[in-house]
Chains A and B, each alone.
Chain A
């Protein structure tokens, strides 16, 4: 209180100002209009953020410390006139401050996940907007669409269910572009979906006209195995969006890098496991791209073994529906600490491990009965498919995870996750390796394994399993954790990156970082 008064009085005693006349009743009216206009629905998290961004005006003293005090008569400046260099530094500081305030409102993150597209500006707070990462291409020749007369070429976002026509159309018209983290360069429909969903997200949060908005600083995140063409295509999409005034500058960072930033750890190994593949990426202030190890195994493989188990139990028809298979995996699948020990215990005491799944609103019920020991196969297959228990499934035709090459990256099919982490870390400088083992972060839905009550001696979670795999390879004293917020950590990382990286850090294909200004 005293400081406010002192601050004000100091200026009052130093200045003389000529003031305009104003009728008090005009002021009361003007204030009531302005006040209610600003307060109506004006929350910072509102999608229609109407506020003008605060900028220090030429006749205001800057809010931050150390600012040059403009607006005072020359004779009342402080004795610190300063050299030209000092004045330039002060100008740079003011510009940095102004940019920082701009980015407080207009930094924008995009996480292109396998299933979901998470997006939004920094003003969303802790939780971004989420829509399914997919697009639907309606049959514009159908009678229904002709009757609508304005059928769009492609539909994204929450409107997709309104346009779905028949279930036969789903496979051909409903496109999930990021199914395995990468898009084939020739897949024009997938790229159309990416372009459209990006524009959809940006337009949703474009501020009302009339303020100083000049476009978002967009940070998009892609799989770390994305080829250069994916970056180029995304930059092109942002260039198109810039023509509508939506984008000021754009950059792309890898998903493991974004996870490390969102989690707040600058030296770590990120293991990101999604539907199609798993990436192991060490980070030390920068991603160590030469140490990246990619595994051609993910949640989709857990679905595959679950489907085989259902077929063996006589649920062949249900095993053909991917959504149902995924539900069985998530409800009944277990991750064993020691597969042989867990299977033996489950065979000796089947009632303790018995599991049933009933789908609400239907007559569909799955009961594993005496075969409930197979629950452990589902989790183990993801982490380590080399156990001989899986041979019978592979012999009978279940697809074996193979080594594949996508772009310059080889995805190994059959190595276990512990081996993948060791190979990745051992490609880094020796001095760095102990520090990397001390911070291993697991990210992605494929690591969400729960431990049911009464089964704690046999089932485990992903961090414990990873430690056990590393211990088998002689690596001890490791620390393995799940990311704090697995659903949003990539988006959090995008936002922090966009806010903190200086604007003059330009894009470089060598380091794969930096801002690319887009043509407005």
Chain B
């Protein structure tokens, strides 16, 4: 509340969170898995499905789970899809996994039927979503291009820089600066100390 977000109701009918917050430029959906329904497979599926529907339509989407149940979840699946995770018990609520932020118009803003402003808003929303998709595609292409270049550089007389096994030793997260993408030094530097034959004077 102190951040200017207020509890509200979403206007889109297919988005059905348990708690919805909206602000001037963002909105957050939270789907709660009740502690009493943890063993109910149907309830688990329902909450995951509801959270998935909100991804991309809200600025951030969270799934709230009981703490004891959280140990059974592979958080990687949620991280890849941008869904954040809260865990709760009797005393506290903790953000165990931050949600990815999606640039989109708040879904609580009502669209004007037939008005110019409403048409512009929905076009803008569509453009933003397309932009996000294009950005992702460009990032993937850059990474593929970097790996192709690295493969073609294997003609060098100098000792080979990369071996495929060492790739796994460098954990490259999604949220690193753009100048990390495709940089061969990550792999070279990660092997410091393991391979000390050098050309250095």
Contacts and interface: CB of A to CB of B under 8 A. Distances in A.
Interface of A: 1, 3-5, 7-9, 11-22, 24, 26-28, 30-41, 44, 51, 54, 57, 59-61, 63-65, 70-72, 96-97, 100-101, 104, 122, 124-126, 260-262, 264, 266-267, 284-291, 427-429, 431-432, 435, 485, 492-493, 495-497, 499-502, 504-505, 511, 513-514
B189 A60 contact: no
Contacts of B96: 57, 60
Contacts of A63: 74-76, 79
Contacts of B76: 63-65
B3 interface: yes
A25 to B, nearest CB: 11
Contacts of B156: 267, 435
B161 A285 contact: yes
B183 A285 contact: no
Interface stretch (B110-118, B120-128, B130-138, B190-198): B190-198
B94 A24 contact: no
B71 A72 contact: yes
Contact of A61 (B48, B67, B71, B180): B71
A9 B30 CA distance: 21
Contact of A289 (B64, B157, B201): B201
Contact of B90 (A14, A20, A28, A267): A20
B143 interface: no
A59 B88 contact: no
Instruction: Classify chain B: how many residues form its interface, as a range.
Output: 35 or more
Contacts of A286: 198-200
Identify which of A13, A287, A427 gathers the most chain B CB atoms within 10 Å of its CB.
A287
Interface string B156-188: 111001000000011101011111101111111
Q: Which one of A70, A104, A260 has the highest number of Cβ atoms from chain B below 10 Å of its Cβ?
A: A104
Given A30-B93, A35-B28, 19 more contacts: A4-B81, A8-B72, A17-B69, A19-B66, A32-B21, A35-B5, A40-B2, A60-B96, A72-B71, A262-B179, A264-B183, A266-B185, A288-B200, A290-B201, A435-B156, A495-B179, A499-B176, A504-B193, A505-B193
Contacts of A432: 157-158, 199
Contacts of B173: 100-101, 104
16 contacts: A12-B44, A22-B66, A35-B21, A40-B3, A61-B75, A101-B173, A125-B177, A126-B179, A264-B182, A266-B161, A289-B200, A290-B200, A427-B201, A429-B199, A500-B187, A501-B190
Contact of A7 (B30, B77, B198): B77
B94 to A, nearest CB: 7
